[in-house]
Structure 1
Amino acid sequence: MNYRGSCHCGQIAFEAEGEIGEVLACNCSICQRKGSLLWFIPRQQLRLLTEPEAMSTYTFNKHVIMHRFCPRCGIHPFGEGVGPDGQEIAAVNVRCLEGIEPESLRFQHFDGRAV
């Protein structure tokens, strides 16, 4: 399935391909504050519809995840990094996808505070 997503103002727009089986609800310091619900996909299944220069990036802790956000509206639609297997991944915030009701999804809770 192909999903369209964006930040609130539309400056960052993208498409993500795949099936949303479950989403990760993390309690780390950034996810807790953002309220993100993350769907992990191979990075090649995320296609930007806007120029990368339209995004800002935030990293913290070990600086291995690039948290992408819109400098205009402040919304964080996805992050990018490398998975444990060495493959590039995208962590899509499903709250930024069109036509998705987050309450209808299965949640996996992750204790990010403990990492």
Structure 2
Amino acid sequence: MKGQCACGRIAVSVARKPDYINFCNCGLCRPTGAGWGYFPAAEVEITGEPAQFGRTDIERWLTFHFCPGCGSAVAWTPYGPNDEDRMGVNMRLFPLDQLTGIPARWIDGLSASDDTDAPMARTGDGVIGDGKAF
């Protein structure tokens, strides 16, 4: 699958469709406008030179990558030592016809109040292409 940012400066290729696309309303995910698909880093290729940032208001555990030209969120990667081989890719960069049929999940990350990494409440489900999910 291949996608790109709004200005075309950054391209993303993934080896397969994600198992689902996650929409989170937390203070970091919601402002990016992203719908995250999760992949091992070896299954993702990003071309171009994205800029990056990490939050400074809480303990940094993710690095967000975005297009310096148009500002499109591209991906997030773990920051620092991490045993988990997982990164998030903004699936909104991909054409809708490539995403049809993928399950969509809405997560209430805004209500997460601790660092236990406990699963957040799922507030909705859909399927890309159902007219509601994307």
TM range (shorter): 0.7 to 0.9
Q: Which runs of 5+ in 2 are unaligned?
A: 114-134
Q: Distance in 2 between matches of 1:109 and 1:17?
A: 24
Match of 1:71 among 54, 63, 68: 68
Question: Which position in structure 1 is the counterpart of 2:92?
Answer: 95
Q: Which has the larger radius of gyration?
A: 2
Count of aligned pairs:
108
Higher strand share: 1
Instruction: Calculate percent identity across the aligned residue pairs.
Output: 21
| In structure 2, distance between residues paired with 1:69 and 1:100 | 23
Q: Partner amino acid for 2:70? A: C
Instruction: Check the 8 A contact 2:15/2:43 in 1, yes or no.
Output: yes
Which amino acid in the other structure matches residue 55 of structure 1? P
Higher relative contact order (CA 8 A, sep 6+): 1
Aligned to 2:38: 40
Residues 102 and 25 from structure 1, CA distance in 2 versus in 1: closer, same or farther, beyond 3 angstroms? Answer: farther
1:56 to 51, 64, 71: 51
Q: Any gaps of 5 or more consecutive residues in structure 1?
A: none
**Match for 1:21 among 19, 22, 30?**
19
Conservation of the 8 A alpha-carbon contact between 2:33 and 2:73 = no
TM, length-normalised to structure 1:
0.79
Which secondary structure does the structure 1 equivalent of 2:73 belong to? Answer: coil
Regions of 4+ moved over 6 Å = none
SS of structure 2 residue aligned to 1:44: helix
Q: Scaled by the length of structure 2, what TM-score is found?
A: 0.69
Q: Which amino acid is 1:80 matched to? A: T
Counterpart-to-counterpart distance in 1, 2:99 and 2:16: 16
Q: CA deviation at 1:69?
A: 0.5
